[in-house]
A and B are shown apart, each in its own frame.
Chain A
Amino acid sequence: MLQQKTSWPFEVLRYGLVVLVVSFFFFPIFWMLLTSFKPEATIMVSPPRFFFEPTLENYRHALVDKHFLFYVKNTLIISTISTLIVIVIGSLAAYSFARFNVGNGHILFFIISTKMMPAIAVILPYFLIFRDLGRTAIGKFMHVGLDQHGALIISYVMFNLPFAIWLLVSFFQDIPRELEHSARLDGLSRMRVLQKVTFPLAAPGIAVTAVFTLIFCWNEFLFAYILTRKLASTVTVGVESFFTLQGILWGPVAAAATIAVAPMLLFVLMMQRYMVRGLTFGAIRG
């Protein structure tokens, strides 16, 4: 027999508990989706309505009137470039920490310690740096001034790199050194060993780090809010733009939030298999 059979009352209880917990965590997302289809008059009524005549008016408002896809495009550019830079620099740095023990662990600790302060603590220096950098010739050339993509890309790289390095170090440490030694004995250079042996073995770990970095960049609000005004604003700032002086437009907010969540949701769904493999990578040691 492959699997131990359990009694049906226990199974019902177990799955009932699972459904209860999942419902608790999914309710806000369900409510956001439901609100995005509600006509304005039925959104804030008490008691809340589950049955109503659905409409796409909120989506039309977000997409046509507010051009929300512009924010999605900005977010896609900034998040993708930031993630690529973080993965390239992070994997090389993590490899050197894992294999050569650079700084005897002190530098690694220093790197992760930069994550111990809240983002709000460094936002003012960042603002001043990018304001002044944007006025220089090189700053203009590289688009790193305020309300430009480069400023957010650099900020996200700076803020996500420590996390990526920290995560990747453990993945590289789990790859046996003997594999690299034997590849070196076969005549491969250090870089070829990295390319042909180490990185392919660490691919699940790199994938999971990339997914997390992308999610952090996509959902980031504070830097995007302070460092951008209009041209480089991201989806989180775009959703906030529905908080007007006349009041909060809850219907368009829900529709915009649904549009903002959708790409990440589909991406994570596609990457789910690799994420689970990456998260359990090296969990069992011989």
Chain B
Amino acid sequence: MDFSQGWDTGFKSVLIYAGVIFFWLMAVEKHFAAQFLSVICMNLVALFLAIFFFLWKRGRYRALARAAEAEVAAILAEDD
């Protein structure tokens, strides 16, 4: 994963984190008896989704890079 891919993915992860917080406070928190518990759960869920998204994208970028390198290696081998 290069810098620009990391930057883009990291930024989207932050947006996912903020989005989960908005959604949680609007729709989920009212179902919790204690706000303290809700806040902890909210942050855990937001963190999990943000990290999961980052790792998933990183895996995809790495697979793409490997495929591209294999393609170039095949072309170079053909030339030789």
Contacts and interface: CB of A to CB of B under 8 A. Distances in A.
A37 B46 CA distance: 15
B26 A53 contact: no
Assign chain A's interface to a size class.
10 to 19
Contacts of A2: 69, 72
B17 to A, nearest CB: 10
Contacts of A55: 25
Given A2-B69, A2-B72, A18-B3, A53 B18 contact: no
A54 B39 contact: yes
A92 B1 CA distance: 41
B43 to A, nearest CB: 9
Contact of B21 (A18, A53, A54, A269): A54
A18 B7 CA distance: 10
Given A18-B3, A272-B8, A54 B25 contact: yes
Given A2-B69, A2-B72, A18-B3, A56 B8 contact: no
Main secondary structure of the interface of B (DSSP, over half): helix
A33 interface: yes
A5 to B, nearest CB: 13
A53 B35 contact: yes
Contacts of B3: 18
Contacts of B39: 53-54
Interface residues of B, number: 16
Contacts of B72: 2
Interface string A49-60: 000011110000
A56 B25 contact: yes
A56 B29 CA distance: 11
A225 B15 CA distance: 31
Contacts of A18: 3
Interface string B8-31: 100110010010011001100000
Given A37-B25, A269-B11, 11 more contacts: A2-B69, A33-B18, A37-B21, A53-B35, A53-B39, A54-B21, A54-B25, A56-B22, A269-B12, A269-B15, A272-B8
Interface of A: 2, 18, 33, 37, 53-56, 269, 272
The 5 A-B pairs at the shortest CB distance, nearest first, are namely A56-B25, A53-B35, A53-B39, A2-B69, A54-B25
